[in-house]
């Protein structure tokens, strides 16, 4: 039997009539898509909302921006958040695909189509994680430099708090960690689905 038909033996058929029942193999794939997609979607969605709120607070807090590194960290975090939105949309589609694998009288997607979507999700999670880590490392370096250069004598003499660790720095760090965690959840769920499909 060709590899393409190991999961979807009817998707490559020339007949337009869908099968009356699904094989155990296809039900297994449907279960993997359903539960991994469901868990990945909700966890990523919650972390995405938390990250969005945190980044929004950081963006509007322009008075505490001390240097260009802060802006670069924000840019990386926003790019990571955009990748996260793409990942959330893909994990949502996992559930839609699961119903096509499990419901009778429904033509399931081809194996190549399913794997391609999972690969896109994996690449998106990896890219988003790398970009966000770069932003997180940048803001962490800024916070470290502020801590090392801290002078207690300036606390009462300085008119601004941009030279000290402030709420803006903490907002960006919190957002970066939330985005990275969300990407890791999406990556794990996609890899688990891929292992169930391609074993």
**Boundaries of every domain in the chain:** 23-151+161-197
Identify the pLDDT of residue 46.
Answer: 95
How far is residue 19's CA from residue 8's CA, in Å, rounded to a whole number? Answer: 10
**Mean pLDDT per 10-residue run, the chain (199 residues)?**
46 44 71 86 94 89 70 92 94 84 72 88 95 94 81 55 71 93 94 81
Query: Any residues with CB less than 8 A from the CB of 33 and at least 6 apart, and which?
Result: 94, 95, 97, 98, 101, 114, 193
Its pTM stands at 0.79
User: Tell me, what's the pLDDT at 17?
Assistant: 43
pLDDT at 162: 57
Interior/surface letters 11-50, b for 16+ CB within 10 angstroms, e for the rest: beeeeeebbeebeeebebbbebbbbbbbebbebbbebbeb
């Amino acid at each position: 039997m060709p590899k393409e038909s190991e999961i979807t033996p009817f998707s490559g058929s020339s007949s337009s009539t869908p099968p009356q029942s699904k094989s155990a193999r296809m039900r297994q794939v449907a279960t993997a898509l359903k539960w991994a997609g469901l868990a990945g979607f909700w966890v990523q969605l919650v972390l995405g909302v938390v990250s969005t709120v945190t980044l929004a607070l950081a963006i509007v807090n322009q008075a505490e921006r001390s240097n260009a590194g802060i802006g670069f960290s924000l840019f990386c975090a926003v790019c990571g958040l955009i990748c996260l939105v793409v990942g959330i949309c893909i994990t949502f589609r996992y559930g839609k695909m699961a119903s096509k694998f499990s419901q009778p009288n429904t033509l399931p997607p081809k194996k190549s189509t399913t794997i391609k979507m999972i690969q896109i999700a994996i690449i998106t999670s990896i890219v988003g994680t790398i970009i966000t880590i770069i932003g997180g490392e940048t803001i962490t370096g800024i916070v470290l430099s502020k801590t090392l250069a801290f002078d207690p004598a300036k606390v009462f003499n300085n008119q601004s708090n941009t030279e000290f660790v402030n709420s803006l720095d903490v907002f960006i760090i919190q957002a970066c960690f939330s985005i990275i965690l969300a990407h890791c959840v999406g990556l794990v769920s996609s890899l688990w689905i891929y292992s169930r499909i391609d074993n």
